[in-house]
Amino acid sequence: MPTCGATQSFNELAPGSLADLTGGEDYSAARFEDDAWGAAPLKQASLEECLLARCDLTAKRLEGVELHECRLDACNLANGRWVKTRVSKSDLVKCRATGLQLIDANLSEVRFTGCKLNLAAVLGAKLRSCVFDKCDLREADFQQVVLTNVTFRGCDLRGARFAGCQQTGLDLRGTHLAGALLEPPMLKKATVDASQLVDLAPLFGLTVRPAE
């Protein structure tokens, strides 16, 4: 998967200030470090090949924003509201995104690594070729989401809810599913491992007991 700085290293990116991102413009090949965004919403902006490291985007509202080949490293995205945001070929690494809302968003070839996404709400979004690797998704809420070739690897989905979702090529192997609310039709042709079958059995009205 391409990452931020596909054409140049992070060190070569020009330093920038989040205060300069006011919307309605395109920003490319910029580096934002230890910075904080103001409270005003960011609308109709495009960021390409940008690095955001240890930036504070708490409760930030993004609307119609596009992120392409970007990397967000150890950023605080908690309680943000991202509406109709498009993220492609990007990496989010060790970000705190508790309570993040992704509404009508479009994510393509996005990798989340070691992120805290507990209590996140993913509503009416489309996810394609995305990977969640060792992420905390406890009590996350997925509603009317289309998941195409999405992988949850070594994640914690305990208490998460999937309602009205559609999936093709879903891979859940190695993920904690105890208490997750998954509609049986959503699991059709999904890939799971043998250790998860006990957690999934109640969804199909099955009781698992040791042999007598």
Per residue in 153-200, pLDDT (tens digit) is 999 999 999 999 999 999 999 999 988 888 888 888 899 998 888 888
Please give the DSSP secondary-structure letter assigned to residue 100: -
For residue 200, the SS3 value is helix
The answer to whether 187 and 166 are in contact (CB under 8 A) is no
Taking CA 74 as the corner, what is the angle to CA 71 and CA 78, rounded to the nearest 5 degrees? 105
| Closest-CA residue to 132 (of 144, 103, 102) | 102
The answer to whether 28 and 7 are in contact (CB under 8 A) is no
pLDDT confidence of residue 205 = 73
> pLDDT under 50 in the chain at which residues?
1-7
End-to-end CA distance of the chain: 49
What number does CATH give the domain 1-77?
Answer: 2.160.20
pLDDT confidence of residue 4 = 41
Establish whether domains 1-77 and 97-212 are of one fold: yes
Domain ranges of the chain: 1-77, 97-212
At the topology level of CATH, where does 97-212 sit?
Answer: Pectate Lyase C-like (2.160.20)
pLDDT confidence of residue 144 = 97
